[in-house]
Amino acid sequence: MERNTQLVGQSSSFLDAVERASRAAPLDRPVLVIGERGTGKELIAERLHHLSSRWDGPLVAMNCAALPETLIEAELFGHEAGAFTGATKSRAGRFEEADGGTLFLDELATLSQAAQERLLRVVEYGEVTRIGASRPTQVDVRIVAATNEDLPRLAERQRFRADLLDRLSFEVVTLPPLRHRSSDIPVLADHFARRMALELEWESWPGFSTTAQNKLLEYTWPGNVRELRNVVERAVYRWETPERPIDVLQFDPFESPWRPQPVGIESRAVPEATAEAGEAAAVAAGHDPVSCADFRLAVAEYEKAILAAALDRCRWNQRAAATALALTYDQLRHAMKRHSLMA
């Protein structure tokens, strides 16, 4: 499990979490990493492994939520040939693969009660019994587990074994969400943007405009650092004038006037904001949307006005204007040609 991403940040809450992980790394004890999605739990697991005495051993990762409940135990502990339907040959589990190294269990809270019970035995005795086997196998594995759930609360509700939680929580590293690391947002944005610019072979990095920087700081980032990386890299690769600061960001890549509507919503319904914008553009073009005698002419004129306004706002950067209007580049070019707005 190797990532092409670094731990980047300068906020005190983030540095405290990294420092706690660094102090726990040399100790051969289990560690729990808690945090929302996209906060960098995998990167902390890597740090715990590489700063430990097991750095030259295997680092094996398993997402406990990615497999159906019936297969999780076989993946974790392995199985013998004929142990269940489809088990044509023996297979080592993740614990045996990680022998001498670190096993990273992501989405720990999704483990079934049966898997939790078997995991407890491994933590307690260092023994793994393959499904269908009669004798256990000794393993030397350090466990690092991660979740975005409140495990003590789950234990109170009997949805997670309290004794397993006790054994896994020698140290708990809780990662702050990005919305509480505002000083890190410009640093991370610049880091990801420079890497993307280098990948695109730009001669220099122009930076973000003041407007774009303010938008980055105002957004709440529900997807945290992973979402920030996507937004920044998308903005860089779509920007067509590398000599000018990036001014356009799209936070929701699914945003489109043709986005599928939920069942029960009329597809012909026009959003109120869009209707108001159309009316304003029509007035700007010199037409009264209520009393206009030529409907088609009015539609054409305010469509042209909308296009012209978007192009002016984006300094005639056509890709940026297309993004602002939720159009594809080809759709924008076709509309410009139709209204004689081509340069």
Return the higher-pLDDT residue of 193 and 273: 193
Tell me the whole-structure pTM to 2 decimals: 0.73
| DSSP bridge pairs for 144 | 31, 104
In angstroms, the CA 17 to CA 214 distance is 27
Question: In this model, does residue 284 exceed pLDDT 90?
Answer: no
* pLDDT given at position 288: 54
Domains, the chain, in order of start with CATH, read 12-176 (3.40.50.300), 182-238 (1.10.8.60), 272-338 (no CATH)
| pLDDT tens digits, 13-63 | 999 999 999 999 999 999 999 999 999 999 999 999 999 999 999 999 999
| pLDDT tens digits, 228-262 | 999 999 999 999 999 999 999 999 999 887 778 77
Question: In this model, does residue 75 exceed pLDDT 60?
Answer: yes
Residues 6+ positions from 310 with CB-CB distance below 8 Å: 321, 324, 325
DSSP string, 259-300: PPPPTTS-TTPPPHHHHHHHHHHHHHTT--TTT-S-HHHHHH
Q: Within 13 Å, how many C-alpha atoms sit on residue 285's CB side? A: 23
Question: In this model, does residue 153 exceed pLDDT 50?
Answer: yes
DSSP string, 203-263: SS---B-HHHHHHHHHS--TTHHHHHHHHHHHHHHH-S-TTS-B----S-TT--TTPPPPT
